[in-house]
Amino acid sequence: MPLVTTTEMFKKAYGHYAVGAFNVNNMEIIQGITEAAMEENAPVILQVSAGARKYAKHVYLMKLIEAAVEDTGVPIAVHLDHGADFEICKACIDGGFTSVMIDGSKYPFEENVELTKKVVDYAHAHGVVVEAELGKLAGIEDAVNVSEADAAFTDPEQAAEFVQKTGCDSLAIAIGTSHGAYKFKGEPKLRFDILEAVTKLIPETPIVLHGASTVMPEFVKQCNEYGGNLPGAQGVPEDMLHKAGTMGVCKINIDTDLRLAMTASIRKYFIEHPEEFDPRKYLSPARDAIKDMVKHKMRDVLGCSGKA
């Protein structure tokens, strides 16, 4: 099974479940995620940020992902996460990625359209699909002031116009999630009404949810018990993510939960084995923690187990 684009994955998933898009930075993370996908018989998206490319180098990540394809046989899409400009998208398209995100959400509407269209034209000419973004993910500051937060949510009419003008293959929208471990100050709330309005207007377009880590309390607790300090961290409840997966959200992005699982495992290992200095000793349980986390997401949250 070679690397795949997300087109078929999303066609099968639309309205039924979501495919997990997990951020990768090194071999242990890639192995943990793809072994989970193999055991769950699930499709999977491995996404690479600009920071990950800088840390590990494009060629290393690409070769590791190719090894994972050979080793596991599951359908894997390799995706650029939050591409900031045309140049990084082009480098990833030329360098073998099957999907790129152009994130023009920080620009005014027309500039975002122009930039996205340029990436779409280049990507489609090379058999690569494009995720774009409209609306700004709320930060914890925005959540305090409702009118400010409201202004950052995606406007459904604009979303329809944006997709029609750019020809993007999927669209990331802002309905209340945010990146990192601190997503909500009070009660977690997602604007399912906006999601519903968007999918009514553009039912052919798979929707993407960024900032979708749950920040599971047991991992925050484990980090803190073993010397960490993560006060009041709070993520998106699992039932909300599951619901989004039945409403046209086809791709759910998860990074923070993997970071927490890996870090909690390593912290625990060093407290329990202060004499140890063989990296394989502490990276093995860390890789297993990633694998367990991803299996849980696929089976109990996203609903993509058995759908490879």
Q: Output the smallest distance, CB 52 to ligand G3H, in A.
A: 5
DSSP 301: I
Asked whether position 211 contacts ligand 13P by CB under 6 A, the answer is yes
Q: Is residue 116 within 8 Å of residue 102, measured between CB atoms?
A: yes
* Residue of 35, 81, 133, 169 interacting with ligand 13P (CB under 6 A): 81
Binding mask 159-198 for ligand G3H (x = CB under 6 A): --------------------x-------------------
User: d(Cα 255, Cα 24) in Å, to the nearest integer?
Assistant: 8
Quick note: the x/- pattern for ligand G3H over 209-248, rule CB under 6 A, is: ----------------------------------------
223, 227, 233, 236: CA torsion to nearest 10: -10
Residue 255 is among the residues annotated as catalytic for this protein: no
Regarding 210 and contact with Zn ion (CB under 5 A), the answer is yes
Q: How far is CA 269 from CA 215, 225, 243, 266, 293, in A?
A: 20, 12, 36, 5, 17
Return the H-helix or E-strand segment holding 100: strand 99-102
- Parallel, antiparallel or unpaired: strands 249-254 and 207-209: parallel
Whichever of 52 and 308 has its CB closer to ligand G3H, that residue is: 52
**21: three-class secondary structure by DSSP:** strand
Task: Establish if 210 lies at the interface with ligand 13P (CB under 6 A).
Answer: yes
Distance, in Å, from the CA atom of 133 to the CA atom of 115, rounded to the nearest integer, reads: 11
Selected from 5, 31, 49, 98, the binder of ligand G3H by CB under 6 A is 49
Q: Are 233 and 215 in contact (CB under 8 A)?
A: yes
| Least CB distance to ligand 13P at residue 80 (A) | 10
296 part of the interface to Zn ion, by CB under 5 A: no
- The residues pairing with 249 across neighbouring beta strands, listed in sequence order, are 207
Q: Which helix (H) or strand (E) holds 172?
A: strand 170-173
Residues 68-97, one symbol each (x = binds ligand G3H by CB under 6 A, - = not), give -------------xx---------------
Residue 76 and residue 37 in contact, taking contact as beta carbons nearer than 8 Å: yes
Phi first, then psi: give them for residue 104, nearest 5 degrees: -100, 20
Q: Which does 51 bind (CB under 5 to 8 A by kind): ligand 13P, ligand G3H, Zn ion, none?
A: ligand G3H
Site for ligand 13P in 121-150 (CB under 6 A): none
When asked if residue 256 is in the footprint of ligand 13P (CB under 6 A), the reply is yes
Least Å distance, CB 132 to Zn ion, is: 13
**71, 81, 85, 255: the active-site residue:** 81
Q: How far is the CB of 64 from Zn ion (least distance, A)?
A: 21
Q: With CB under 6 A as the contact rule, which of the stretches 48-56, 160-168, 197-205, 265-273 interacts with ligand G3H?
A: 48-56
Q: Does 253 bind ligand 13P (CB under 6 A)?
A: yes
**Kind and range of the H or E element at 198?**
helix 192-201
Strand pairing partners for 254?
A: 22
d(CA 21, CA 206) in angstroms, rounded, equals 14
Return the sign of the alpha-carbon dihedral for residues 228, 294, 278, 69: negative
Q: How far is CA 55 from the centre of its chain?
A: 18
Asked whether position 58 contacts ligand G3H by CB under 6 A, the answer is: no
Residues that bind ligand 13P (CB under 6 A): 23, 81-82, 179-180, 210-213, 253-257
Return the active site residues: 81
Residues that bind Zn ion (CB under 5 A): 210
Residues that bind ligand G3H (CB under 6 A): 23, 49, 51-52, 81-82, 179, 255
